[in-house]
Amino acid sequence: MSKKLISILAILGIPLLLVFGGLIAYGVYHRAFSAKLALPGGAGSRPVTGDVPGLCNGPSTMTILAIGEDYRGGGGDYLYGLADVIRIVRIDFTKPSVSVLSIPRDLWVHIPGLSDRNIDVGKINQAYFYGAPAMGYYKGPAGGAGLLADTLYDNFGLFPDHYVAVSMQATQKLIDAVGGIDVTLSKPVDGNAQLPGAEPENLGFYSAGTHHFDGATALKFARIRYGYSDLDRIDNQSIVLKALFERMTTQDGTVNPADILGGLLEANVLTDFAPSDMLMFSCLAKYIDYSDIKFITLPSDTFSASTVFSPVQKDYVFAYVPDTTKVTDVIRTFQEGIWP
């Protein structure tokens, strides 16, 4: 695997990076790939995102739902778990570029197709949980990723071409495989906060300055939530991602691409990509420069922090209530390549 390709895959986001390693691993371990996405209600195949042929025999554009799954009871088998990281990745094959849009996991949405379970609304990360195979709620294809895709389509008109789901434990293995990461914080982050009546998280205290994280420490840092907002959590996850990118693209000879591949081979990835797609992305990597890649989050004026009643939990919970019209318009311009 070339350093150029590793660099491109790294900056696409941890879930995407791991899937391409999984595609390579497929030839060795022959892992089964998951079902293709289909439009909700059996309406047919997912929409084509463009009709102009792209470079490397690719489509004009491709939209990928990238999910970081967090299941603290174990993980790795994708039978349970919440979507701790939700990113929409748009790849333009005609004007080679990549945009990565972060979706707050606390976004309050309608979750379709579960009214027979008395579930109609919830946080968007719960859609992945309810769709997980072990729950037995969702009858569509692709499990949690399928119901999350349905939910994005139902609320905001976004339907991805492909999906990638990777456990947070797999991310930990990858960070260890490259010898850890160096993270610089502009302000302290306290992961030992305690909510009234709850046990402290005990995720560590991180002073301002530079720290060296192994995989376990990086995972703790990325999970910190008490005393912080979901947007702060996204920022922390991006700090880890960028540090991993910097580590993997170092030119000092201390990172061996073979070690990276070894870490990827241990990662259990759930996706509807096929091994043959590796050739397309290997080709595209030659045309993409770092300046062609952008990380963005939903604008703050498209949702508001609120306390809402959860019929499932039978209690009031914190959530981000979206302005559906604004979010839909932002996502439309994102898919069309107008924004950012």
Q: Which residue has better confidence, 301 or 202?
A: 301
Q: Which residue has better confidence, 81 or 89?
A: 89
Residue 27 scores a pLDDT above 60? no
Residue 109 scores a pLDDT above 70? yes
Task: Please count the other Cβ atoms lying within 10 Å of the Cβ belonging to residue 263.
Answer: 21
Averaged pLDDT, 18-41: 48
Residue 334 scores a pLDDT above 80? yes
Residue 132 to residue 50: CA distance in whole angstroms: 30
Residue 45 to residue 211: CA distance in whole angstroms: 47
pLDDT digits (tens, 9 = 90+) for 244-255: 877 876 656 565
Q: What are the CA-CA distances from residue 112 to residues 127, 152, 329 (Å)?
A: 9, 10, 21
Give the model's pLDDT for residue 209: 96
pTM given for the model: 0.81
Residue 15 to residue 159: CA distance in whole angstroms: 18
Give the model's pLDDT for residue 19: 42
Answer whether the bond into residue 275 is a cis peptide, omega within 30°.
no
Confidence band for 72, pLDDT divided at 50, 70 and 90: low
Residue 87 to residue 125: CA distance in whole angstroms: 11
Confidence band for 261, pLDDT divided at 50, 70 and 90: low
The whole-chain average pLDDT of the chain stands at: 80
Residue 196 DSSP SS3: coil
Residue 94 scores a pLDDT above 70? yes
Give the model's pLDDT for residue 44: 45
Confidence band for 150, pLDDT divided at 50, 70 and 90: very high
Confidence band for 11, pLDDT divided at 50, 70 and 90: very low
Averaged pLDDT, 157-161: 91
β-bridge partners, 206: 189
